């Protein structure tokens, strides 16, 4: 549903677009369904409105979402080649991002550009960093805000815009299983589906394309599963050697934490992942009371109350005891 308190900001966006500016659209590193879907939907909307719009990302579109971008609209940032395009941009749209650091090396470049910046996001850890910030933490996904942009900017909902928007919203809502799914969310997605979407096919493309390498990696992940706090905390680990042994990559890990999340009586789930360069990535999920965005923030991360993450250069062996100790304390504090 439209957020009226931002009507003045949408008006400013509409005024900026009246001159048909050159626009760049981007989102966060290691993009998920919300990031990919929001980028593509907004770029297609901007072109519909007569603007020149280019999607430039720090990382490639993950395999499970490649069906959304069959023509290769998303350009992975390459210094030198893409810098002239960035320098010529009039407007930068930064989506599903709480700060420039979440855009990776591309963000460091974009932050220095002489262009109007517009951030559209739903992370509660976003305190605003753009010329125009449209930040709605209660929105189920950034994709929902892009659908709102279409209404405010006078666009037409077409199938090629509706498909990535549906994926953006549905994936961030756990395909309508998570608490951020509201009646309004279901109505909005029903309206998107009315453009002729094959919802069943989209589900299969995202959730039923696991590779054998990924299943072998999952076996190693589950073998490392730990239980703490009488089973209320579950955490597991993958090291870079596990990926090397199975031939899997980072994309094959998607969904592992959601599987562990199904264990009865767990309240807090933590997935520690060692990357090839020795850095660490931590995914956190909360079912009930614990605010994992606040927990992640203690380690330089962020996200949502029930889903957050940490990216750090700290070695995994040093990070695990610190994060698990903080998790136990947060769980105890939430019960008080």
Domain termination residue (choose one: 154, 174, 206): 206
Q: Both 194 and 242 in a single domain?
A: no
Q: Are residues 41 and 164 in the same domain?
A: yes
Secondary structure class of 312 (helix, strand, coil): strand
The pTM score is: 0.89
Among 154, 176, 206, give the residue marking a domain's end. Answer: 206
Half-sphere exposure of 331 (CA within 13 A, CB side): 22
User: Do 12 and 105 fall within a single domain?
Assistant: yes
Q: How far apart, in whole angstroms, are the C-alpha atoms of residue 216 and residue 182?
A: 36
Same structural domain, 166 and 21: yes
The confidence score (pLDDT) of residue 123 equals 86
Residues 187 and 267 in one domain: no
Residues 234/246, Cβ–Cβ less than 8 Å: no
CATH of the domain at 43: 3.90.1640.10
Same domain, 67 and 140: yes
Domain containing 229 — which CATH number?
Answer: 3.10.310.30
Residues 20 and 107 in one domain: yes
Last residue of a domain, one of 163, 187, 206: 206
Q: Could you tell me if 134 and 165 lie in one domain?
A: yes
Ramachandran assignment for 126, one of left (phi > 0), alpha (psi -120 to 50 degrees), beta (any other)? beta
User: Token pair of 285, please?
Assistant: 């999920």
Residue 67 lies in domain: 4-206
Q: Which two tokens stand for residue 201?
A: 């096919």
Count: domains in the chain? 2
Q: Which residues of the chain have pLDDT under 70?
A: 1-5, 336
| Half-sphere exposure in the Cβ direction for 114 (13 Å, CA) | 3
One domain for residues 22 and 171: yes
What does the pLDDT look like over 241-274, one tens digit per residue?
999 999 998 889 988 999 999 999 999 999 999 9
Asked if residue 240 and residue 184 are part of one domain, the reply reads no
Strand 22-26 relative to strand 280-286, pairing? unpaired
């Amino acid at each position: 549903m439209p957020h009226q308190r931002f009507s003045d900001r949408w008006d400013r966006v509409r005024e900026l677009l009246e001159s048909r500016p050159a626009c760049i659209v981007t989102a966060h590193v290691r993009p998920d369904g919300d990031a990919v879907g929001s980028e593509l939907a907004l770029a297609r909307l901007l072109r519909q409105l007569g603007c020149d719009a280019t999607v430039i990302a720090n990382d490639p579109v993950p395999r499970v979402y490649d069906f959304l971008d069959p023509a290769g609209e998303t350009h992975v940032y390459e210094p030198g080649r893409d810098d002239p395009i960035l320098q010529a941009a009039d407007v930068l749209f930064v989506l599903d991002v709480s700060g420039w650091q979440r855009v990776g090396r591309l963000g460091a470049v974009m932050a220095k550009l002489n262009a109007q910046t517009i951030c559209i996001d739903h992370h509660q850890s976003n305190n605003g960093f753009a010329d125009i910030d449209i930040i709605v933490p209660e929105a189920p996904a950034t994709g929902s805000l892009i659908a709102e942009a279409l209404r405010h900017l006078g666009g037409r909902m077409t199938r090629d815009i509706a498909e990535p928007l549906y994926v953006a919203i549905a994936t961030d809502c756990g395909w309508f299983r998570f608490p951020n799914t509201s009646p309004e969310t279901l109505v909005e997605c029903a309206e998107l589906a009315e453009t002729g979407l094959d919802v069943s096919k989209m589900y299969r493309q995202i959730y039923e394309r696991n590779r054998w390498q990924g299943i072998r990696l999952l076996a190693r992940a589950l073998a490392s599963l730990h239980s703490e706090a009488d089973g209320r905390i579950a955490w597991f680990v993958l090291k870079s050697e596990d990926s090397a042994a199975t031939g899997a990559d980072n994309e094959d890990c998607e969904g592992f934490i959601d599987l562990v999340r199904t264990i009865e009586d767990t309240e807090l789930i933590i997935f520690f992942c060692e990357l090839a360069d020795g850095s660490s990535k931590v995914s956190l999920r909360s079912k009930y009371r614990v605010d994992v965005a606040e927990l992640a923030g203690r380690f330089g991360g962020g996200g949502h109350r029930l889903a957050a993450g940490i990216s750090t250069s700290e070695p995994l062996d040093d990070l695990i005891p610190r994060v698990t100790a903080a998790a136990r304390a947060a769980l105890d504090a939430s019960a008080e």
